[in-house]
Amino acid sequence: MAMIAPSILSADFARLGEEIQDVERGGADWLHVDVMDGLFVPNISIGIPVVQSIRRATDMFLDVHLMIVEPLRYAARFCEAGADMVTVHVEADTPANITAALETIHACGKKAGIVLKPATPAAAAEPWLAMADMVLVMTVEPGFGGQKFMADMLPKIRALRRRLDEVNPACRLEADGGVDTDTAPLLTAAGCGVLVAGSAVFGRADRAAAIRGIRDAR
Ligand code: DX5
Ligand code: ZN
């Protein structure tokens, strides 16, 4: 059964603490935190002080998705702010700097992952498969919640799960974007163990029912 990581991008930021407690009570496994810099993606969301505040508001595992250029510059600071997992886009810097970012996150004692945009092929993840704790496959263009799921990402997810089972079976595979009760079963069947859901959770009044619905969808 997949773990569900609600994305706070679709939460009411004026009531963020209550929103987080609502999904925690509702049975969320992780909390997904989207950090956007307005350069790597055409949107700006939240940064280090908000992660610090979230850390004080919950004991949930914080899965911090960095959609920022040159993530090495800030990786340690997000770890210190309270992230449990920090993921960096392979498109966001040189391969050497992406490796350095993962090493920095590990040196902080946190889990480290890589993220692939929709146009980035599975093979691009190869240099980091052995060292990553998670591979995140974007199933929408990063930047905004509420977009349509890209079903053509499913073969990429299956290919990555196959390769991970060969080189790093403990590595998690996560999908982000357009996850709902219709798409979740496709993703779990393809090998995803963690599903990020923004609008499908925070867009519903009953968050517990929303989380349960996605987790139990067949
Ligand atoms: C998009 C973010 C996602 C977003 C998903 O760039 O990475 O985490 O919140 O939103 P939904 O679930 O609404 O597609
Ligand atoms: Zn995300």
Catalytic residue among 29, 63, 93, 176: 176
DSSP state, residue 37: B
Beta bridge partners of 7: 32
Average pLDDT over residues 132-153: 98
Position 143 confidence tier, pLDDT thresholds 50, 70, 90: very high
**Ligand 1 surroundings by CB, under 6 angstroms:** 7, 9-10, 32, 34, 65, 140, 142-147, 176-179, 196-200
Residue whose CB lies within 8 A of the most ligand 1 atoms, among 23, 85, 199, 202, for a mutation test: 199
Among all chains, which residue has been given the structure tokens 């692939």?
A: 116
Residue 152 annotated in active site: no
* Average pLDDT for 79-95: 99
Give the pLDDT band of residue 1 (cuts 50, 70, 90): confident
* CA–centroid distance, residue 163 to ligand 2 (Å): 23
> Between vectors from CA 8 to CA 6 and to CA 10, what angle results, nearest 5°?
100
By alpha-carbon position, which residue is closest to atom 4 of ligand 1?
A: 145
> Domain range for residue 138?
3-216
> What is the signed CA dihedral for 23, 26, 31, 36, rounded to 10 degrees?
-40
Number of domains in the chain: 1
SS3 state at 148: coil
Share of the chain above pLDDT 90, in %: 100
Distance from the alpha carbon of residue 96 to the mean position of ligand 2, in angstroms = 23
- Strands 172-176 and 111-116, how do they pair? unpaired
Residue with tokens 């963020």: 16
Atom of ligand 1 nearest to the CA of 199: 13
Instruction: List the catalytic residue out of 22, 34, 63, 133.
Output: 34
Helices (H), the chain: 16-25, 48-57, 75-81, 95-107, 154-167, 184-190, 199-202, 207-216
At residue 44, what is the residue type?
Answer: I
Residue indicated by tokens 């093979």? 123
Probe target for ligand 1 pocket from 37, 115, 139, 144, with the most ligand atoms within 8 Å of CB: 144
pLDDT in tens, 16-62: 999 999 999 999 999 999 999 999 999 999 999 999 999 999 999 99
Q: What is the CATH number of the domain that holds 154?
A: 3.20.20.70
Rounded to 10 degrees, what is the CA torsion of 87, 91, 93, 99?
A: 50
Residue pointed to by tokens 């496994």: 29
Tell me whether strands 61-67 and 85-89 are parallel, antiparallel or unpaired.
parallel
Residues with CB under 5 A from ligand 2 (ion): 34, 65, 176
Ligand 1 atom at minimum distance from 177 CA = 14
What is this structure's pTM? Answer: 0.98
Sign of torsion over alpha carbons 169, 174, 180, 183: negative
The tens digit of pLDDT for each residue in 175-202 reads 999 999 999 999 999 999 999 999 999 9
* pLDDT band per the 50, 70, 90 thresholds, residue 138: very high
Please state, in angstroms and rounded to a whole number, the distance separating the CA atoms of residues 198 and 44: 16
- Atom 7 (ligand 1) nearest CA: 142
Chain-centroid distance of CA 38 in Å reads 18
**Any catalytic annotation for residue 176?**
yes
Mean pLDDT of the chain: 98
